[in-house]
Amino acid sequence: MDLQPDFQRGEIWTPQKKRKLIDSILRGWRIPPIHVVLNSHAIDEVLDGQQRLAAIRDFNDNIICVDGKIEPFDSSIASLDGMFYRDLPKEWQRRFRQYSINIVRLTEYKPEEPAELFYRLNQPSALTSAEQRNAYIGVTRDQVKNLSNMFISLGGTKELLGFSNSRLAYDEIISKFCYSVELGTLKKKITSTDISEQYRKGQPFSDECIEIVDESIHKFLASICARDDYKFSFNKATLYSWLIFTRQNLDMDETAFSDVITYFEFCRAFVKGQSKKTDEKYLSVYAKMLKQLPFFELMLNTFNQRSSMGSTDALSIIYRDVIIALFRDALLYEKTDLLTLALSSFSDYENMNSMLETIVSKYSWGEAF
């Protein structure tokens, strides 16, 4: 069998990735079939599966060893930690040798077919974090899946939000929101690894957490579904921020709540030159805010910058939350302690970040959520 015919790439798997494959084999898990092409010299050229076969070869040749610490923990595999093939007990060597792999062999084909199959089998299709977590069957996944299905049934669609649940985008946002509610703070950066660990361990979110998330989703979607005079365009970061805001304003009047979301979304789109809405009531709100807040456009630009797909750090999330709160107060109340502090600190520093830092420090913003 030729592992490296002309069309193949080099061996690129890291030792750790190879150890994970060996771990799968020792556990008796199935791995995808190997695709080979029988060439004119009666030699099987590997079309797909080169990296897997190389890992098996390296273990058989005592180049890589067993990693007994790979999750999920298995005491029998853990007992083999650090062992090369030559060190394994006889029954484990036998288990490894007797492991069967399905092989698909192309023997009759047109000249262009192997290359096309190689291309199709090797197109990049890396799973998103949410797609990976979806494979962890258990109560945590079921909780998030139920909330995601409810989110869609209540009207959460691409037509309403501006993006779809393709690649489980809604599941990702909802799982992160659940984790935030359970954690009770915005100060800690939540990574995909944090959430995946909860899925992996089958550790469910508390009933109280699920109830809060359920109520937040209902309130948020009811508020924006009612606005048929504006077309929203959220992304994952902004939708997450609105769920954060909703959780903190569950008792707010429905009309006022809907106004905050809709007018804010119009204003931040307008400042980017992306909104074609010319309804007088929207433009009048923009003009009112511009007159009331000397930092209004700078505030919106900061929000937009902090809402890029890469802005997942805790500070960006907190700053976005502060900015929405400032907009809410200016829209509904005109004068509050928060607005007074913002105006005075901006007057002192004439710098948006310094103003936001002052507010975060003064109110310990995000510490308790």
For residue 120, what are its two tokens?
Answer: 């199709």
Environment class of residue 195 by beta-carbon count within 10 Å: exposed (0-12), middle (13-18) or buried (19+)? buried
Q: Looking at residue 124, what is its pLDDT?
A: 65
Q: What pLDDT score was predicted for residue 274?
A: 85
Interval 171-200 mean pLDDT: 94
pLDDT-derived band at 277 (thresholds 50, 70, 90) equals: low
* Residues whose CB falls within 8 Å of the CB of residue 276, separated by 6 or more in sequence, listed in order: none
As a residue count, the chain comes to 369
- Note whether 264 and 303 are within 8 A (CB): no
Q: How confident is the model at residue 80 (pLDDT cuts 50, 70, 90)?
A: very high
DSSP 8-class letter at 227: -
Which two three-digit tokens encode residue 72? 């999920």
CB count in 10 Å sphere of residue 55: 24
Q: Is pLDDT of 137 > 90? A: no
- How confident is residue 311, by pLDDT bands cut at 50, 70 and 90? low
Cβ 327 vs Cβ 256: under 8 Å: no
- For 103, the 3-state DSSP assignment is strand
If one compares 125 and 217, the residue with the highest pLDDT of the two is 217
**pTM as predicted:** 0.79
Average pLDDT, stretch 77-104?
96
Nearest-angstrom CA–CA distance, 13 and 353: 43
Taking only the tens place, the pLDDT of each residue in 222-250 is 999 999 889 999 999 999 999 999 999 99
Q: What pLDDT score does 9 carry?
A: 59
> Is the sign of the CA dihedral 172, 177, 182, 183 positive or negative?
positive
Q: How confident is the model at residue 279 (pLDDT cuts 50, 70, 90)?
A: confident
Q: What is the pLDDT of residues 196-213, one digit of tens each?
A: 999 988 899 999 999 999
What local confidence, expressed as pLDDT, does residue 232 receive? 95
Predicted pLDDT of residue 6? 59
Domain locations in the chain as residue ranges: 15-121, 129-363
Q: What is the CA radius of gyration of the chain?
A: 27
State mean pLDDT over 298-302.
97
More confident position, 41 or 183:
183
CB 121 within 8 A of CB 35: yes
Query: Could you give the CA distance from residue 95 to residue 277 in angstroms, rounded to a whole number?
Result: 67
